[in-house]
Amino acid sequence: MPDKKHVVIDPITRIEGHLRIEVDVKNGKVEDAWSTGTLWRGIEPILQGRDIRDAGLLVQRICGVCTWSHYEANTMSAEVALGIKPPTNARLVRNLINASEFMHDHTVHFYALASLDWADVGGALKADPQKASDLAHQFSKQPYNASADHYREIIEKLKKFVASGQLGPFAGAYIGNKLYKLPPEGDLILISHYLDALYTQVILAQMMAIYGAKNPHPQSLVVGGITSVMDMLDARRIGQYASKLEDVGNFIQHAYLPDIDLVTYFYKDEFKENIGCGAENFLSYGGFPETNDWEAEFRYLPQGVIYNRDLSKVEKVNKQFITESIAHSWYKGPNEGIYPGKEDTVPEYTGLNKDGTVKRNGKYSWVKAPRYKGKMMEVGPLARLMVGYASNHNNMRDMLDNFLEKHSANINQMFSTVGRTAARALETAYIWHGAHRWINDLITNLKQGDERTWTRFEYPEQETNTAVALYEAPRGSLAHFVRIKGKDVTHYQVVIPSTWNASPRDEKGQRGAYEESLINIPVPDTDEPLAILRTVHSFDPCMACAVHLVDVDNDKIKKFKVEV
């Protein structure tokens, strides 16, 4: 008789928002999986009839993490609708703020949200400080904060946590789980950097505030440009950003990247194709515009679609092929995928089964199911890196080849949880380099006498067509769809990165990216489903975003009842 078990993880912690994962485990491996967004957020009526100049500030409240992403994507969609091209200074300052958002989210993700999936706190307590220092030097010439004395202090700190009975950030850890593979000294290095990363996070938040006025919700963007005019022109501000960028670079180069090498090295048995990656298709809209035309595809992060993991071909993105299906989501409407410009959002909660399991042939999530040409896509750092690799975009191929060579790995091994985790780190360094160039471009542009920060525009008397901003947020492809009449928003839809990845099945029964990636993941101990968490976390879920509901096609606020 096969050994068959059923596991529900609800809530998944160390993510943003509310996510529930249900799996069938057969002979110690995941046989099938269901991803459920359990939170409903009713932002939808808020934009109806709002002045387009306010919309960005409202829409960024979809999330408390990728606030900037929605703010900028909204502003870009308005600029496309109005047919304007903001000046170069505005594009560069926006790219600098966006760079701080990406580096912040990626660093916080690896250390605060994911490092304990790889590092055992129990191991760190047993580590030898001198050996830890030696190990750190094997992975970096100048490892970050890696003296034996420093490691001794960290162990003392951890012991105090344990002695007080309050494990703080380490409470609930799966101490001693057999799926942990780092030597104790590796555990200690990662946990020591977990604490250091908290300081790096502060610096990155400050960097956003230099041009964004504050963090997490910046406020220096306006339709047509930016308001951080004096900051942009002030050499001290540029210097502050640049000097903080160096501090962050020190952490990325000497902690984050070597730690990824350490994890990849000790988890070589997991660094294999299909361990934690199930998607066949990968999508990136492109991010960080390199020209002032938001509809151009020339961007620092690449644009393209890959099918069937075939890296010999990259297809251009056509927004008309983006659809969302609600066949398995708690909304009313037709089952087939619909273009977001025509989409409606009518909630209809039908609950779970009485025994608390998902309705396998029915609706089971607040997350919709976005598809491209009807196919399930993975989006995010791995998708961007593979699209960049396949299209030989900037130096992305060399960057990845270096990493693969270091680990004697082939490209297909990137289709894994380890690969996705590495892709995010490589991207952090890539964006750090981009930020240097945007600072230089800003200085050059100012020196050439271009001080423009805003472009004048006229409001349309007739309702515009649906304008789309294709954008990349830290977690993946983000599109804002807008129509405007006069000063007012008349229609708004957002298709969000975590909606792609956390999506439930669609009308054809195709699983979403989390679901597909969990198939065959080992679950030797159903009480501690560490490998499931590791894979789900590697996507960096943001469920507040995934279930956002910004749709202002209707002018009535709907009433409905949620039964629990």
Residue 296, both tokens: 């151009």
Q: For ligand NFE, which residue of 12, 63, 76, 155 counts as binding (CB under 6 A)?
A: 63
Cβ contacts of 171 within 8 Å, gap of 6 or more: none
Residue 304 contact among Mg ion, ligand NFE, none, beta carbon within 5 to 8 Å by kind: none
Cβ contacts of 221 within 8 Å, gap of 6 or more: 56, 71, 72, 75, 94, 227
Residue 542 contact among ligand NFE, Mg ion, none, beta carbon within 5 to 8 Å by kind: ligand NFE
Q: How far is the CB of 207 from ligand NFE (least distance, A)?
A: 17
Phi and psi at residue 210, in whole multiples of 5°? Answer: -60, -45
Residue 475 contact among ligand NFE, Mg ion, none, beta carbon within 5 to 8 Å by kind: ligand NFE
Phi and psi at residue 175, in whole multiples of 5°? Answer: -60, 130
Which one of 325, 498, 503, 538 is the catalytic residue?
Answer: 498
Q: Which is nearer to ligand NFE, 212 or 497 (CB)?
A: 497
Residue 57, both tokens: 């500030």
Which one of 290, 393, 534, 545 is the catalytic residue?
Answer: 545
Note whether 125 and 176 are within 8 A (CB): no
CA dist 216 to 43, 60, 202, Å?
19, 10, 11
Residue 365 contact among ligand NFE, Mg ion, none, beta carbon within 5 to 8 Å by kind: none
Q: Which is nearer to Mg ion, 338 or 383 (CB)?
A: 338
**68-87 residues near ligand NFE, rule: CB under 6 A:** 69-70
Q: For ligand NFE, which residue of 542, 547, 549, 552 counts as binding (CB under 6 A)?
A: 542
Is 463 noted as a catalytic residue in this protein? Answer: no
Burial profile 526-552: b = 16 or more Cβ within 10 angstroms, e = fewer: eebbbbbbbbbbbbbbbbbbbbbbbbb
Q: How far is the CB of 17 from ligand NFE (least distance, A)?
A: 8
Residue 545 contact among Mg ion, ligand NFE, none, beta carbon within 5 to 8 Å by kind: ligand NFE
Is 104 noted as a catalytic residue in this protein? Answer: no
Residue 309, both tokens: 């993991």
- In whole angstroms, give the CA distance from residue 34 to residue 29: 15
Is 475 noted as a catalytic residue in this protein? Answer: yes
Q: For ligand NFE, which residue of 275, 473, 484, 550 counts as binding (CB under 6 A)?
A: 473
Is 436 noted as a catalytic residue in this protein? Answer: no
Which one of 70, 91, 491, 548 is the catalytic residue?
Answer: 70
Which one of 66, 393, 424, 483 is the catalytic residue?
Answer: 66
Q: For ligand NFE, which residue of 65, 97, 114, 435 counts as binding (CB under 6 A)?
A: 65
Is 70 noted as a catalytic residue in this protein? Answer: yes
Residue 474 contact among ligand NFE, Mg ion, none, beta carbon within 5 to 8 Å by kind: ligand NFE
In three state form, how does the secondary structure of 18-49 look?
A: CEEEEEEEECCEEEEEEEEECCCCCCHHHHCC
Q: Is 559 in a helix, a strand, or coil?
A: coil
Q: Which is nearer to ligand NFE, 98 or 417 (CB)?
A: 98
Residue 515 contact among ligand NFE, Mg ion, none, beta carbon within 5 to 8 Å by kind: none
Residue 329, both tokens: 């989501």
> Any contact of residue 56 with ligand NFE (CB under 6 A)?
no
- Which has the closest alpha carbon to 521: 359, 278, 286? 278
> Any contact of residue 409 with ligand NFE (CB under 6 A)?
no
The DSSP string of 422-434 is HHHHHHHHHHHHH
Q: For ligand NFE, which residue of 190, 385, 544, 552 counts as binding (CB under 6 A)?
A: 544
Is 515 noted as a catalytic residue in this protein? Answer: no
Which one of 41, 91, 254, 475 is the catalytic residue?
Answer: 475
Phi and psi at residue 408, in whole multiples of 5°? Answer: 45, 45
Q: For ligand NFE, which residue of 421, 498, 535, 538 counts as binding (CB under 6 A)?
A: 498
Which one of 16, 22, 101, 343 is the catalytic residue?
Answer: 16
Note whether 74 and 68 are within 8 A (CB): no
Looking at residue 3, its amino acid is D
Is 277 noted as a catalytic residue in this protein? Answer: no
Q: Pattern 84-103, binding to ligand NFE, x per CB under 6 A?
A: --------------------
> Any contact of residue 16 with ligand NFE (CB under 6 A)?
yes
Residue 418 contact among Mg ion, ligand NFE, none, beta carbon within 5 to 8 Å by kind: none
The DSSP string of 326-384 is -TTBSEES-SS-B-GGG---EE------TTS---TTS--BSS-EEEETTB--B-SHHHH
Q: Which is nearer to ligand NFE, 180 or 300 (CB)?
A: 300
Which one of 22, 63, 79, 391 is the catalytic residue?
Answer: 63
- In whole angstroms, give the CA distance from residue 285 to residue 294: 11
CA dist 56 to 67, 220, 474, Å?
10, 10, 18
Q: Which is nearer to ligand NFE, 314 or 545 (CB)?
A: 545
Cβ contacts of 163 within 8 Å, gap of 6 or more: none
Is 498 noted as a catalytic residue in this protein? Answer: yes
Q: Pattern 476-505, binding to Mg ion, x per CB under 5 A?
A: ------------------x-----------
Q: For ligand NFE, which residue of 43, 66, 80, 210 counts as binding (CB under 6 A)?
A: 66
> Any contact of residue 497 with ligand NFE (CB under 6 A)?
yes
Pairing of strands 4-9, 29-37: unpaired
Q: How far is the CB of 441 from ligand NFE (least distance, A)?
A: 24
Binding region for Mg ion (CB under 5 A): 494
Residues assigned a catalytic role: 16, 63, 66, 70, 475, 498, 542, 545
Binding region for ligand NFE (CB under 6 A): 16, 63, 65-66, 69-70, 473-475, 478, 496-498, 542, 544-545
